């Protein structure tokens, strides 16, 4: 009887997703419409699309279990970091500039932005290859954790769960494009908001309430530390900080996240989207990690269970049948929303940046066919990788999944952020950061796969433990190194001509000059004089043609 209820709930949910895809088909007849929704997406839809792309089943099942087990309730800081740094500040720092610049450059993807911003097609192709290589294993990781949850509810094979989720996602994305994904993201986001609140409440009630649960958790020791799992920063502060940085600041360099700003309807939508996105992240991510912090109450702490099994075990022991049905929808929603975002980003990058970069006379019809074909191909490839990993436990796939986020953020974050604010960011600095980010990730992958054969003197060294000891550590330090690499390399390499960037930076007026001044002082200790008012007026006039963004009130 329970299985019938779960099946009915899922079928209704899938029907709604496909219906939304069909209703959105009118907006997907052009490349811009299919990829960006015609740059006409409002703040609420954009904010929910950003949030649901951010948080998938990897967060709810995998990370919540893993980091909750390792850090206790201090894992909640990860959710707070995701809300403040990964959402609020991301919208405030990247939102308006990304929307305005990408519209002026007529770019629909991050690689295309790099190519047009620096006038280098090879840079665009290199960025496209990085996206292609590292988004595929990241996409495959979305299926992790679903097997245990579906087995709990249906007792069906893992591969069947993957096929069903992949097929439904492919159906609505192929038909409705970007607008189908954002509308479905909105529905999925509402499910996630109510679902996580209900689940956290039910789990705490099953342990006698919040106070009783915290008291029980405080009795579990961590080494010689009593109460470590209820302490303010948990038993491993360094590890906690690294996770917060990678999962929060790292999103600033992920193509599928930044692309949400490309599709904003106007600059005015940024403020509303920023607030909605932050609240969404605080509830969903904060709730997930807070929930995971109580995982040790459901297992014997003397042995560490498989991290993907912690949350499903908590739910099966604590939740009534109706709430398990809600959790099924919650996890499927989280996975499908992120999956649709990733495959849209991958397929548009491969078609618009790689293939069209080689075959410049590619017709509009051919572009649409290729984008849709690659959506299907990427979904199939990611599903096959996920099945192979689960079936054969291939270490290489697991490690690729681990380094993907860090590789993308390490390669793209610093060049992208500097290029939005600093005119003197050079093409060479982008190349160096791309190469460094990929090289560090590949090195970390190789060391991880060969760790058993490495000498103990190396694996126990400070460098290995705090840099290569985890894919998270590598990702964070690679990402932070970019903030040194880009300005230093830009200082000693050929600068772009100011006249080539005057129109691009004109909508930001005095803000851009202040950043130029600050970066110049940081690098050389010498003050830079701001652009003369006449030059600013001329640049604004040059940018005031039809279709240009009007200056904001701050200007």
Among 18, 491, 65, CA closest to 290: 65
**pLDDT (tens digit, 9 = 90+) per residue, 250-271?**
999 998 889 889 888 887 889 9
Give the three-state DSSP class for 264.
strand
Q: How far apart are CA 396 and CA 402, in angstroms?
A: 10
pLDDT score of 80: 96
Q: How far apart are CA 204 and CA 248, in angstroms?
A: 27
pLDDT score of 82: 96
pLDDT score of 371: 85
Q: How far apart are CA 38 and CA 17, in angstroms?
A: 21
**Which pair of structure tokens corresponds to residue 82?**
């995701």
Distances from the Cα of 166 to the Cα of 148, 178, 459, angstroms? 17, 17, 40
Q: How far apart are CA 421 and CA 419, in angstroms?
A: 6
pLDDT score of 333: 79
Contact 410, 478 (CB under 8 A): yes
Contact 65, 310 (CB under 8 A): yes
- C-alpha dihedral sign at 471, 475, 476, 481: positive
Report strand pairing: 221-222 vs 225-226.
antiparallel
Give the three-state DSSP class for 453.
helix
Contact 177, 34 (CB under 8 A): yes
Domain 2-393 of CATH type 1.20.1730.10: yes
pLDDT score of 147: 61
pLDDT score of 533: 39
pTM for this entry: 0.84
Distances from the Cα of 480 to the Cα of 91, 266, 425, 537, angstroms? 20, 31, 17, 36
pLDDT score of 529: 42
**Which pair of structure tokens corresponds to residue 41?**
């997406």
Contact 37, 27 (CB under 8 A): yes
Q: Which of the residues in the chain have pLDDT under 70?
A: 1, 144-155, 357-358, 394-399, 401, 510-555
């Amino acid at each position: 009887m329970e299985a019938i209820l779960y099946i009915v709930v899922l079928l209704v949910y899938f029907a709604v997703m496909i219906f939304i895809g069909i209703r959105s088909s009118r907006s997907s007849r052009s490349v811009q419409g299919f990829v960006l929704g015609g740059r006409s997406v409002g703040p609420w839809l954009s904010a929910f699309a950003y949030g649901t792309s951010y948080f998938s089943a990897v967060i709810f099942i995998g990370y919540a279990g893993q980091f909750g087990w390792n850090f206790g309730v201090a894992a909640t800081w990860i959710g707070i970091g995701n809300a403040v740094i990964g959402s609020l500040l991301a919208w405030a720092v990247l939102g308006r500039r990304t929307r305005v610049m990408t519209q002026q450059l007529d770019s629909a993807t991050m690689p295309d932005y790099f190519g047009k911003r620096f006038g280098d097609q090879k840079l665009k192709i290199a960025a496209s290859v990085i996206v292609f290589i590292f988004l595929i294993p990241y996409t495959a990781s979305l299926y992790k954790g679903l097997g245990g949850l579906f087995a709990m509810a249906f007792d069906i094979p893992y591969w069947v769960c993957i096929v069903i989720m992949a097929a439904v996602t492919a159906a609505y994305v192929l038909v409705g494009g970007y607008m189908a994904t954002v509308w479905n993201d909105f529905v999925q986001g509402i499910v996630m908001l109510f679902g996580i609140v209900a689940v956290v409440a039910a789990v705490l009630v099953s342990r006698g309430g919040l106070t009783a649960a915290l008291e029980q958790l405080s009795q579990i020791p961590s080494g010689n530390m009593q109460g470590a799992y209820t302490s303010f920063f948990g038993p491993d502060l360094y590890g906690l900080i690294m996770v917060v940085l990678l999962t929060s600041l790292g999103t600033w360099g992920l193509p599928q996240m930044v692309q949400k700003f490309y599709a904003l309807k106007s600059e005015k939508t940024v403020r509303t989207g920023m607030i909605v996105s932050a609240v969404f992240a605080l509830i969903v991510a904060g709730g997930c990690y807070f929930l995971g912090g109580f995982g040790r109450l459901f297992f014997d702490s003397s042995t560490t269970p498989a991290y993907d099994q912690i949350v499903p075990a908590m739910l099966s022991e604590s939740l009534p049948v109706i709430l398990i049905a809600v959790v099924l929808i919650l996890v499927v929603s989280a996975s499908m929303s992120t999956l649709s975002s990733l495959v849209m980003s991958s397929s548009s990058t491969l078609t618009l940046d790689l293939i069209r970069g080689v075959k410049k006379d590619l017709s509009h019809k051919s572009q649409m066919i290729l984008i849709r074909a690659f959506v299907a191909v990427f979904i199939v490839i990611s599903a096959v990788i996920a099945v192979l990993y689960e079936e054969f436990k291939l270490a290489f796939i697991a490690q690729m999944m681990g380094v993907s986020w860090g590789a993308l953020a390490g390669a793209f974050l610093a060049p992208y952020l500097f290029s939005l604010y600093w005119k003197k960011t050079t093409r060479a600095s982008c190349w160096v950061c791309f190469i460094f980010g990929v090289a560090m990730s590949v090195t970390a992958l190789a060391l991880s796969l060969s760790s058993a054969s490495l000498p103990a003197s190396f694996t126990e060294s400070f460098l290995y433990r705090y840099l290569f000891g985890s894919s998270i550590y590598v990702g964070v330090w690679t990402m932070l190194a970019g903030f040194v690499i880009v300005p230093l390399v830009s200082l000693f390499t050929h600068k772009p001509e100011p006249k080539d960037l005057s129109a691009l930076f004109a909508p930001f007026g005095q803000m851009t000059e202040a950043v130029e001044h600050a970066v110049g002082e940081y690098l050389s200790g010498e003050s830079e004089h701001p652009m003369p008012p006449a030059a600013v007026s001329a640049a604004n006039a040059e940018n005031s043609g039809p279709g240009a963004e009007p200056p904001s009130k701050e200007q």
